[in-house]
Structures are given as C-alpha cells and as structure tokens.
Structure 1
C-alpha cells in the first residue's frame, strides 16, 4: 500500500535548489524551505511571486523540521560531502519514524550507501536522488533517478512524477534500486556526458583548426546534424553556441580553453576501474579536462615541443559518421559500467528503463536512447549494446569514417583522445584474438603467475620455467 504523500521541505536555495523549489510549487505542492543564509530565504520568497502562497519559509533547518507535520520528506540541495552529512546529523534527532531525508545533489554513491545505513538505523528512510538537466531542467522538468526503499519512493512519487520531464506524456523519473543506485546511475550519466562533450569538441577542433572554418559555419553544420541521427541536446546547443557572438567576435573565441569539472566524470572512471571495467571515451574526456587546466604548461610545451596543427581536409559526412560511431561507444561503455555495478551491488538495474528516463530533461538526451531502450528489451548478444543489430550495423557503416577522421587528426597533430579511444575499443572488440597473450607470458616469466592455455587449462607455465 502506498504511503500518503509526505509533507515536503527543501533545504538549500542555491541555483539548483531554488529552481527545483519553484518547480515543486508550480506543480501545486505546498513546500517548506530554509537555507543556511537567512537573506537567501527572503529573496526566494520574493522570487516565488504568486507561488509564495504555497510556501512556508524558515530561517533555520532545525526549526523547519520541527514545524513540519509528519510524515515529512526533506530534500537536501547542498554541496556534496560534509554539508550533506552535517544536515543529516541535525535532522535525525528531530524527525519521526518513517520520515524521509532526500539527498538530491550530486553525490558519491558510496556516501549514499553509507548514509542510507545511518539514517535507516535511526528509524528514518533515506533517498539518494540524481537530478539531471541543470538549472533549466530543475525548474521546468529534470530527469530524476531515485535510489532507496520502495516505501520511501511511494511517499514522494506523486511529487516526483509531477515535476519530472515528460516524454510522450510519461515522467522521466523512476525508482531504480536500493541505497546508492540512483546516484550511481546519475554519476554514469555524467560520465557519458563528459565523453559526448569531448567528442563534439574534438570534431569542432578539427573543423576549426584543421580546416580553418569559422565557428558560425561549423555551428550551422551542427544545426543540420541535429535533424538526423545525431539529434540530441548537446548537438543542438553546440550549434547555438558556435553561432553566438560576444562583442563582435565568436563567443567561443573569448572563452579561455580550460574546462571545469565537479568530480562525477572522475567518479565514473574510478568506480569503473574498481569493478574491472574500462570506458576509454570517458577516461579520455576526464583526462582532457585535466590537461585543459594546465594552460601555462601547455603554453611552454608549444614552444619546447614545437606544437603544430596541420591541415585536415575531410568531407562533413566523415565527421558526422565519426561522431555517431564514437557516441554509440560512449553510451555502450556507460551501460557496461552500469551492468557491472548492478551485478556487484545486487541492484537489478533496468537498463531499458534508464534509457527511457534519459529521453527528456537530462543533458545526454538524444535520438539514440529509443534504440538503446529497444535493444535492452530485445535479444542482446552477450548483453552488449554495441553488438545489438541496429548499433552493429551502424558501427560497421560508420567506423571507416571514424578511422579516417582519427587518422587524419593524428597525422596532422590534432589531439583527439576520445575519438581514438572509441576507435581502439571498436578495433579491440572486433578481434577474436589480440596481443595480451604476450602480456600474460611476461607476467608468468617475471612473477610465475601462470596462464590459461588455448585448450582451457588454467595454472599453466611457460617453457622458461622448465
């Protein structure tokens, strides 16, 4: 039986918190709010305008919790790490059995699993909720990935379904599994986002610096690509960004070439490697952001190493097909990580449903997601997305273009770590026998680690030990 809708509170009225709060109010729900800084609460009441009729402001988190009638669900929209732990520690003694604490910020899923144990030991319920879509999504409809107990989900589901983005009328939100499942899915979503952005940037770089084409012209090409197989939010905004101007110059030309990161891409790579997985496109994207921060070193390196970017002359169709092939691999690698985590933590993730809730509201929404959902609901060879007939056929057709683009870039001195990472994955997975026979022989030689021979016998040793 579903619990009655919890009385809602939200703590943390920063950019994302205030946008989410307005979304909740706009959908007809009453809401209590508070913030660490009192003046922010007053400013939010003013910002809410007519929606403030359903708003109860508080200048203190503790007082908000005490003033709210049970059953209560309090959403935390504070920075990851210690601020979340501090808020939970304050709330636990103030809440009643069955009340729910919801961490709706980006969080390391390991923290979410730990917090679930702490909160539930106190007789409360805890939800780790991934929210994707940035400020616009939070305000108008994000993709929402929920982890926690089914009972806690039932108490907030009407609100979540109402505020989430909609695809063909269905909410892009769901309960995905226990404890850290929601936050982990959101983390991998962001890892795919890193890869997609880097792939797009590499294609832009080749067209801009290899073919000396103006940003606005490249933007128009992305605008056209957004009408075909590459249709997606990131391709759409790339077309807009590249055609924008600031002070009579292309907007991208006045932006320093240093990209920030908040850690979710790095978390994706770390957790993947812990589970014995490797996502070459995501790893490359995280590395590229790290390298981008070393602006001074790169400046010196250009002089010392004689940096040079030569001309690249390729048809636009090659870039389009290369980006399509690499994007498929980025998604496929992301879902491989999700599959490994589902097995490791016994989450029983529904990959088709995850693809469906990413179709609207989130940053990586794209035309590929319908095909991804269909693939997971069908007969999937080896459980691998890139082997699904639809994607395998596309990869066979598009990989030659990816090979031409990557080859031309390397020959001309243009760094394309994500494109080459995707190509390396394709080439590796297309070879029944590779070169790690030698690696394992080396391991046996220096460490007597043994090997499995071609007849399936394990614990074998080479003639160097005879």
Structure 2
C-alpha cells in the first residue's frame, strides 16, 4: 500500500515513521526540502519535490493524507490537489480543521468523484511510540479503503481508532475531545496551585502528582505528563504564564451555544486561557478601580 503525506512537521513526520515501521510505502512532501530528504534517508520514505510529484508517484486509488494547519493552508492545498486526482481517489485531512469546513470540503470533492475523510488525530509527539487515537468521518467505502493505514497508526489494530460517522463526524469528535482536554488541564492546574499555596503543609507537588497516578479516580495521561514534568521543576520560574488555544476550544464553546447545551467547565477553561493571553490585563485593572470606587479598596500602582 502506498500513501502520500503532505506536511511533515512534528505530527506528520512521526506518522510517516510509524507507517514505515508497518511496511506502508509513503511518498512525502513538505515545503522544507531538508525535512523531506532527512525522512527519506532515515526511514526509506519516497521523496517528492512538489505536491504534483507526490501524487504522480501514487497508483489508483490514490490516497493523500494532509497534516497541515487548519484554515487557509488546508483549504488551498485541497484546491490544488483536486485537479491532480480522479474518481475513486481519496483525500484525508488529519489536521485540526473545523468540522463545518470538512463537511463543505467533502461535498465539494464528492462532486468531482473524489472521496474525503476527516481524521481527528490525538496523540501529539508521543504518537510515534504509543500510536494515535483516530476518530474518522467518511463514507463506509472510503473508511474501508483507508482502514489499513488507520490500523497502522493506532495503538493497536483493534483499538484506538474508529469510523465514527459521516464526513465531518471525525473532526467534530476531535473538537469535543479538545474541549474536554481544556477542562481537565484547567482542573489539574487549579488543584495543584491550591496545594502549592498551602505553604504550612510544605507539599511536594511531584510526590502528590505521582501519588495520584496510582489508584486514584483522577489518574490520567495528562496527570502522568504533569507528574513527570514536576519531577524536574516545581517552581516553573522559567515558564511564561501564557497558554495558547488552538481554536478547537473556541469552536466547542460556540457549538454549545448553538445547541443550547450548557458546557460551563469547557467554556470557562477556554476563558481562562484568554486571561493568560491578556498581556495588558485591562479588565483586571478595571476591576481594581471598581473595588476602589465602591469599597475604598487600595489600588496597586505599577505595570505597563
């Protein structure tokens, strides 16, 4: 089996490595030619000098997997791919695209006889060794053709991947997954912050996190990663208090509003990321002024 991988960053590159370990031939392309040649030398990936070159090295049905940033990069790449593909060929989007975009793109490609799969992909930099969790949306016919690839990428052939519904369903499931992830991360961060603040108990946060990993109801992979990180540094003095959001948390909150389904934990976790990104802190300055106005509370000076 042969597959083209477009986008060989941290995720795409590791997916190539994992697929090669399972004997799947990969034609790889990235704008950075150094990454392409490096992977070709390392794992026997077939190098491509352009998207057209990558597609040209495939046989029908041609499978092209995209690992690109959501939005315009994925959109323009699909538009470039369409004329290079024919009836029965398949485009797989493994990035974090909005499920609404995936449904639209799937319909647009279907008009041209080209299959489409939206593959919500979780696993990050650990996916190479542990496998990726894959939630995919596609027609049954497309899912069947891509199945060997999904089995190779997943933690095991019989688990960690699923055809969860029609086009759009994969990226929607990943969107909700990331919303839940925001909430879990926020809860762990707040709890450990409270422990750190209880100075009279002199808690060893690394010890507590490690303790919770075994037998507790809050054990999780996120806790595993947190415990490991705390072993090396508990003060985190060199870590900026800034937490980015990839966009999927926003889409989750918007969808909750559209459905009229309360999701306060997921939404508040997203809002807390916004707080960390507010360098000016203008809202908090206003709160301080309000407290002073109605209660005479002191206002701290300083700051930019």
Normalising by structure 2, we get a TM-score of: 0.89
Against the structure 1 CA distance between its residues 139 and 107, is the aligned structure 2 distance closer, same or farther, given a 3 Å change threshold? farther
Partner of residue 251, structure 2: 267
Please name the residue that 1:219 is paired with.
Answer: 206
**Map of 1:9 onto structure 2:** 4
Q: Deviations over 1:380-434 (max 9, x none)?
A: xxxxxxxxxxxxxxxxxxxxxxxxxxxxxxxxxxxxxxxxxxxxxxxxxxxxxxx
| 1:130 and 2:120 matched | yes
Corresponding residue of 2:275? 291
Deviations 1:295-348 (A, max 9, x none): 4427974994699xxxxxxxxxxxxxxxxxxxxxxxxxxxxxxxxxxxxxxxxx
1:276 is aligned to 260
Secondary structure of 2:184 counterpart: helix
Q: Does the alignment pair 1:22 with 2:17?
A: yes
Q: How does 1:255-404 map to 2 (within 5 A)?
A: 255-297=239-281, 301=285, 304=288
Structure 1 position 94 matched with structure 2 position 78: no
Q: Give CA-to-partner distance per residue, 1:245-276, whole Å, 9 cap, x none.
A: 3xxxx352221111111111111111111111
Do the aligned partners of 1:20 and 1:139 also contact (CA within 8 Å) in 2?
A: no
Contiguous gaps of at least 5 residues in structure 1: 308-466
Contact 1:132–1:138 (8 Å) recurs in 2: no
Residue 154 (structure 1) shift? 0.5
Larger Rg: 1
Cα deviation for residue 56 of structure 1 reads: 1.2
State the shift of 1:60 in Å: 0.2
Can you list the C-alpha shifts for 1:98-136, whole angstroms capped at 9, x where unaligned? 010000001100000000001111001000001101111
Task: Tell me the residue number matched to 2:31.
Answer: 36
- Give the alignment partner of residue 173 of structure 1, picking from 161, 186, 192: 161
Map of 2:195 onto structure 1: 207
Contact 1:98/1:125 (CA < 8 Å) preserved in 2?
yes
Structure with the bigger percentage of helix: 1
Q: Which runs of 5+ in 2 are unaligned?
A: 292-304
Q: CA deviation at 1:144?
A: 0.5
Aligned-partner Cα distance in 1 for 2:121–2:201:
37
CA RMSD of aligned residues (A): 2.2
Q: Which has the higher contact order (CA 8 A, sep 6+)?
A: 1
Contact between 1:22 and 1:139, CA under 8 Å: does it hold in 2?
A: no
